[in-house]
Amino acid sequence: MTEVQLHTLEELDQFVSGAGKRLLFKHSTICPISTTAYEEFQAFLSEQQLPAAVILVREDRPVSNAVEERFAIKHESPQIFLLEDGQVKWHTSHWKITKDAIREAVQG
């Protein structure tokens, strides 16, 4: 399954308010660590059917900032969130974003 990109606060609200589990990935397109984490995220999605979205932190900064404000979780990049029914159930950042870590969080 491929992810959608969130460019507006309305798109963020719609994605977050969805039922069930979903993944939200904050990505910096100029950071090599973020590129590696994004590849892990995409590898996970290639094997799983789970709604997923990406926020490009430099290009869509207001949306990225809204995630930090909404969930009261300090911004990092790269950063991934497992949401369930609109609430953060798990999150991590940087080198801890791996296909296996995502799988464990989703299954847990």
Domains of the chain: 4-107 (3.40.30.10)
pTM of the model: 0.96
The per-residue pLDDT for 64 is 97
The per-residue pLDDT for 2 is 74
Which residues fall within 8 angstroms of residue 40, CB to CB, at 6 or more apart?
A: 97, 98, 99, 102
∠ CA(14), CA(20), CA(21), 5° rounding?
95
The burial class, CB within 10 Å (0-12 / 13-18 / 19+), for 37 is: buried
> In which residue ranges of the chain is pLDDT below 70?
1
The per-residue pLDDT for 28 is 97
